[in-house]
Amino acid sequence: MSREEKLKVLKSKLSLNNYQKLSAISNPKIIDYITKAVILCEPESIFICDDSSQDLAYIREMALKTGEEKPLNIPGHTYHFDGPKDQARDRKVTKFLVPKDDYLPPSLNQIEREEGLREITEFLRGSMRDKTMIVRFLTLGSADSEFTILCMECTDSWYVAHSVSLLYRPGYKAFTQTNGEEEFFYTLHSAGRLSQDMVSIDVEKKRIYIDYTQNTVYSVNTQYGGNSIGFKKLALRLAIRKAHREGWLAEHFMIIGVNNGSEKIYLAGAFPSGCGKTSTAMLPGESILADDLAYLRNIGGRARAVNVECGIFGIIQNVNPQDDPLIYKVLTSPGEIIFSNILVSNGEPYWIGMGKELPSHGINYSGNWYIGKVDEEGNPVPPSHKNARYTVALKALENCDENLDNRKGVELGGIIFGGRDYQGYVPVQEGFDWVHGIISYGASLETETTFAVLEEGKFEINIMSIQDFISIPLGEYLKNYIKFGKDLKKVPKVFGVNYFLKDLHSEEFLNGKLDKHVWVKWMAKRVNKELKAIKTPTGLIPKYEDLKILFREVLNKDYPLSDYNKQFMIRVPENLAKIKRVRKFYEDLEGIPYEVFKVLAEQETRLIEAEESFGNYINPDCFKEEVL
C-alpha cells in the first residue's frame, strides 16, 4: 500500500486539522504503523497531538469529559481509578515475543512470537470501536542529543494521553524531521471495553507483550500506568537491547544532585519500587534530576547520564509533610497533577500514611468505600491502594535540577544500589572498585517484592533493580555493565545502601527514615575524596567520627557510638548466607561472566577469615585499615 493509499484509509477518520498534522510527517514507517493500528483496532476517529498548548489542553479536557479523570477541589488536580484487579504491573501477562530462532533466559516471561502476535491481535481487534485513537509523539532522554530515542504511542485512553504530557518530552516536531532511517519505539494500547465507571472490564484478558524485533509494545485490557504508558518499564526493555548493541546502559535509576560545598555531586541510584528510591531522590536541600529511569553513556571517558523522562509517576503511600515535605507541598498546591487509586471524599484526595486522619467513607477504586469494607474474598479494602500514584511534571518541584534538559547529561560521581535487606548489609558501604561494587551490591541486590507488583511479599534477587525488565541474557547484561566501567577514564564509585536493617534481637529498624540523608552526604564526600573509609570484608564503611559530624550538620542530632556499632556491625553468618543464595542463583544460569563468581568467592574468603579472627558478629572498630 502506497503512502497516498494509507493516508486515504486514515483520512475518513481524521478532521482536516488532524489530517494536516499527520501529513506533515513524511516518515513512511510512522504512517505504516498508524494505518495498521487503525485497521486492527477500528477507532471511530483519530486525534493527532502536535504538542501545541491547544492540543494538550484538549487532551486534558477529554480526560475529564469522558470520565477517565475527575476534578478535585484544588485547581489542576484530577483523579483516576483503575479497576480492583488492575492496580500494579502484572508479571504473569507481561511477556516477550520471542522468535523461534532466538533465545531469552527461561527466567524471563515469554511466548513464541507468532503465537503471541495471534493472541494479542485478537484482543486488540475492534478494541477502539466508538472511541478515538490518540497519537502521541514523544522523546526519551534529552531532546536533540545522542541520548535521544524517538517514540510514539497510539492509545484510546485520554488518561494515558494526558499522563504522557507530564512524563515525557514533546516529540512531534522531531518526527516531522525524520527521514525513515531513525530507530524509534512504538506502543499500541487499548483499555478495551470500559464500564460505566470508565474502568477496563476484560481484565482477565489483560496482555502486555513486547515485540523486541520491531521495537513495539502491545498493551490491552488494562489502564494501570505501568502497563499502559508504553515508555516506562515497557520501553526500558527495548532500550536495554539497544544499549547492549551500542555499548551504553539503560537503567532503572534515580539521579540526585548532592550539594557539597560549592560543588554538586551527581549520584544515580537503583532501588526496587517501595525501597526508598523516590525519597532518596527528593532529599531536602538537594536537587532531583531523575526518579525512575536513566540512560548512561561514555562521553569523553566519563559516565554521563540523562533522565529518560521529565515527570514522576510516583507511589504516594506514606508521602507526608514530615518525611517528604517537598513532594507533599506540590501535592497540596495548585498545579497539574493526576492522582490514581487514592481515596476521594468531598473533593479532597486522601492516602495511607499522609500524616492526617482519613475520612470514614468516600470513593476509591472499589467504588463507595467505608471503614470495614471487604472484597469478594473477605479481605479488608484499604482506603487507598498501597500502589496509589501521583503523576506530575518534575519542573513543578522547587528542587528540580537545573540540568534536567541538558543535552550532554550530567557526569555521575557514583552509583547506589539498595533493596530490603533486614539482616545482612550495613546501611551504607562503598565497593573496592567498579567490578566489586557492581557485583556485590548491584548483581547481588536482594529484596522483598512490594505492592508495585501483584506477587507481593516474596524475597528474590533483583539484579540492579532491573530484573523484571532485562530483555537480553543476564550474562550479556552483566558483561556489558562490567565493560562499561572498564572503558571509562574516570570511573564512578559504587555504593550499597540498606535502609531496612533490623536489630539482631528484635524487629526494630536500625535506620531512621531521615538517616539516608547522612549516608548520601557521606557518599558525596567520598566521591570528592574528602573522607577516609574503613576497609571491611564486604566494602568500605564510614568512620564513626565522620558520621557523628554529619549527623549534627545534616539532621542536627546526636549520633551515639552504640548506634554506629549496631548499624555497621559485620554480620558474618547473614552475609555468608547471602553469598550462598546469590551464587546458587547464578550457577543455574548460562553465560554468567567469571567475575561474578570470583568476586563472590573473594568476599566469602574475607568473611571467613574475619570470622576466625573476631567471631560471627564483628564491631567496626576491629577493622583498622583506612583508605582514601
Question: In whole angstroms, how far apart are CA 69 and each of 155, 162, 579?
Answer: 16, 10, 48
Q: How many CB atoms lie within 10 A of CB 183?
A: 10
Q: 587: which strand partners?
A: none
Which helix (H) or strand (E) segment holds residue 534: the answer is: strand 533-536
Please give the angle made by the CA atoms of 524, 259 and 397, to the nearest 5 degrees.
120
Distance CA 542, CA 540 (A): 7
Distance CA 37, CA 32 (A): 9
Active site residue 622: no
* Helix, coil or strand: residue 309: coil
Choosing from 49, 154, 275, 310, the catalytic residue is: 275
Q: Are 541 and 432 in contact (CB under 8 A)?
A: no
Please give the angle made by the CA atoms of 172, 176 and 180, to the nearest 5 degrees.
120
Identify the CA nearest to 268 among candidates 248, 288, 284.
288
| Inter-axis angle of helices 16-23 and 3-11, nearest 10 | 160
Sign of the CA dihedral 362, 368, 372, 375? negative
How many alpha carbons fall within 13 Å on the CB side of residue 496?
33
Q: How many CB atoms lie within 10 A of CB 34?
A: 24
Q: How far apart are the two ends of the chain, measured CA to CA in Å? A: 66
How many alpha carbons fall within 13 Å on the CB side of residue 364?
30
Q: Are 546 and 534 in contact (CB under 8 A)?
A: no
Active site residues: 275
